[in-house]
Structure 1
Amino acid sequence: MENESMVTSMILTAFYEMEDLKYLYFLIFLIVYLTIIAENIILIVVIYVNRALHEPMYIFVCNLAFNELYGSTALLPPILSNLMSSTHEVSLSCCQAQVYCLHTYAINEFTILAVMGYDRYVAICQPLQYHSIMSASKVLKCVVLSWLLPIIAFGLFFVQTLRLKFCGKIIERVYCVNYSLVKLSCADTTISNIIGLFALGVYTFPQLVIILYSYIHILRVCLCSKESQMKALKTCSPHLLAMINYSVGIFFEVCYSRLNMSYIHYGARIYLSLHLSLFPPILNPILYGMSIQAIRVQIFKLAMLKKCNLNIP
């Protein structure tokens, strides 16, 4: 067992299984990261420069895109760096910083999706009062809340992890997570695990209530007429697909963290652990950019304008 005073770094052992194909993995992760950056920046720019898109729904989409950039940047550059490292070792402080960023990203993602679900409920169930209910001040409060809740709530819980002394330094992943750090603690982690489960409920229960409340009322409206069903399907399909994608990622993360996955091929284990941090950032801009007509039209206009400028001698 390591001397707790000597543990100042962590070794991410999953990288050793990638050694033989590390250059291929490096290229794949680099392409994925550049794609995420390009997709989300294009979405943000299109919404920002077009005043017609300065509506609550598009503002929330823009915030979702910012969160995708935040989460993927906390994950992928360190992975690219560690792939080229010979020791696959990261300092404890960098590991802790990554834990904080990735967990706040995940909580923020769910919070923004909950706010977007409420926005869709108001748009479908109370269309005449939509602009009075989703006023500029209320939208601002929702945006601020969606960012402050993860930063403060997880920060208060994460203080306990920062106080831990560690007697081990092996993390069987390609990145750091809080549960992996807690397991390496020299102290009994029973209380930490109980607090962690309680904190998980605090982080997810309010958002889950908002989403369920919103879609129960949307479903009631949908039962009234086929016209309402078509409107709801058209309006909510990107959000529902984003929610499904996020839920799959959470399920994979829980399975990877809590269950024994040693019998599964390392490539599948890497996919399970990365789904939550990679697939929402790469798929959500496509879901919202291509599914929402107003955004899709503006993206096509921007692409055509660029093409015309390139053709000018």
Structure 2
Amino acid sequence: MENYTNTFHFNLTMFVNIGSYRYPAFVLCLLMFAFIVSANIIILLVISQERTLHEPMYMFIALLSVNALYGSTGFFPRFLMDLLSDTHLISRPACFTQIYIIYTYASYEMTILGIMAFDRYVAVCEPLHYHNKMTHKKVCILSAFAWIMPAFSVATCLYLAIRLPLCGNKILKVYCAVWNVAKLSCVSTLISNIVGLLVAVVTVFLPLIYVLYTYCRIIIVCSKMSSEFKSKVFQTCLPHTISFVTFSIAVFCDVALSRIDVEKLNPYLAVILSLEFVLIPPVLNPLVYGLTLPEIRKHILRMWPWFCKQT
């Protein structure tokens, strides 16, 4: 029978010893963090200050930027410290706090992309009813749902993980993750696995299926319309499609990585795959929405002198 251990610290063992290259890596990641913060703040400022952008589509884009700031702030400070450190111990409370932030960030991203798909579906397939269906009250309800539901579902998974008696402290990851903590359990994790599967279905697979369904309907509608209509739909739906596809691929890589023997992979590849969904979406989203949507791009260019004066 295995002995239970009182684990006060976890050891993040996926960090690769890169010697003196840790300093360029630290600078690169710090610059990436600074870009994520500044770019998403610019998107938020533009949307909040321009009354013409106080529409559902742009409000949901603002939610994505808020989520990017939330997830990045919960990940980068600790990661930057670990890059310069020779040891990678993280306390139990800090580990579970990091798990909650990263997992809620991922869940928020998927639910927000899901309600954005609903918004685009109504705008394209039911344009005459758009303003009746996407009222300010409806936007607030959808936004609240996108934040509240993942917060409680992830908290449930985390509660079950915290209660597990552990027989080790080594986490094969560069940040804390529920599945990696569950692998250390001295007892059966059947209940935790079932709850985790249900949470994954609700926060990941249902939004995924719904987004695919809405885009099938949008494609069917567009096939019967003029080229001008198709061009307009393409312009408004492309950023959302890029965000959804890149985030889905990043999440798939992270889930696949947690289910295979990571030690058989190239360590650098394993680190890159594990970091995708906390790095790529926060960097990509402000670029995609800021460059491809004319209204946001126009206002950013108009406000650019003001941003320069502030800095």
**Residue 154 of structure 1 corresponds to which residue in structure 2?**
154
SS in structure 2 at match of 1:166: coil
**Residue 135 of structure 1 corresponds to which residue in structure 2?**
135
**Residue 281 of structure 1 corresponds to which residue in structure 2?**
282
Q: Work out the CA distance in 2 between the residues paired with 1:19 and 1:99.
A: 28
Amino acid at match of 2:284: L
Percentage identity across paired residues of the two chains = 38
Amino acid at match of 1:214: T
Amino acid at match of 1:212: L
Instruction: Compute the displacement of 1:2 (Å).
Output: 9.2
Q: Work out the CA distance in 2 between the residues paired with 1:268 and 1:157.
A: 28
Please list every run of at least 4 consecutive aligned residues from structure 1 whose deviation after the TM superposition is greater than 4 angstroms: none
Instruction: Compute the displacement of 1:3 (Å).
Output: 5.7
Residue 108 of structure 1 contacts residue 147 of structure 1 at CA under 8 Å; is this kept in 2?
yes
Q: Work out the CA distance in 1 between the residues paired with 2:3 and 2:75.
A: 29
TM-score, scaled relative to structure 2: 0.94
In structure 2, relative to structure 1, the CA distance for the partners of 1:203 and 1:305 (3 Å cut) is closer
TM-score, scaled relative to structure 1: 0.93
Q: Work out the CA distance in 2 between the residues paired with 1:16 and 1:237.
A: 37
**Residue 207 of structure 2 corresponds to which residue in structure 1?**
207
Instruction: Compute the displacement of 1:165 (Å).
Output: 1.6
**Residue 231 of structure 2 corresponds to which residue in structure 1?**
230
How many aligned residue pairs are there?
Answer: 309
Q: Work out the CA distance in 2 between the residues paired with 1:175 and 1:306.
A: 34
Instruction: Compute the displacement of 1:16 (Å).
Output: 4.5
Residue 2 of structure 1 contacts residue 168 of structure 1 at CA under 8 Å; is this kept in 2?
no
SS in structure 1 at match of 2:15: helix
In structure 2, relative to structure 1, the CA distance for the partners of 1:244 and 1:8 (3 Å cut) is same
Structure 2, gaps ≥5 residues long = none
SS in structure 1 at match of 2:14: helix
* Higher mean C-alpha deviation, range 207-216 or range 126-135: 207-216
Instruction: Map 1:155-304 to 2 at 5 A.
Output: 155-225=155-225, 226-304=227-305
In structure 2, relative to structure 1, the CA distance for the partners of 1:261 and 1:16 (3 Å cut) is closer
Residue 17 of structure 1 contacts residue 266 of structure 1 at CA under 8 Å; is this kept in 2?
no
Residue 256 of structure 1 contacts residue 273 of structure 1 at CA under 8 Å; is this kept in 2?
yes
Q: Work out the CA distance in 2 between the residues paired with 1:255 and 1:98.
A: 20
Q: Work out the CA distance in 2 between the residues paired with 1:2 and 1:16.
A: 30
**Residue 57 of structure 1 corresponds to which residue in structure 2?**
57
RMSD (Å) for aligned C-alpha atoms: 1.8
Residue 125 of structure 2 contacts residue 221 of structure 2 at CA under 8 Å; is this kept in 1?
yes
Q: Work out the CA distance in 1 between the residues paired with 2:155 and 2:250.
A: 22
Q: Work out the CA distance in 1 between the residues paired with 2:266 and 2:89.
A: 23
Residue 74 of structure 2 contacts residue 101 of structure 2 at CA under 8 Å; is this kept in 1?
yes
Structure 1, gaps ≥5 residues long = none
Instruction: Map 1:54-93 to 2 at 5 A.
Output: 54-93=54-93
In structure 2, relative to structure 1, the CA distance for the partners of 1:267 and 1:52 (3 Å cut) is same
Residue 221 of structure 1 contacts residue 228 of structure 1 at CA under 8 Å; is this kept in 2?
no
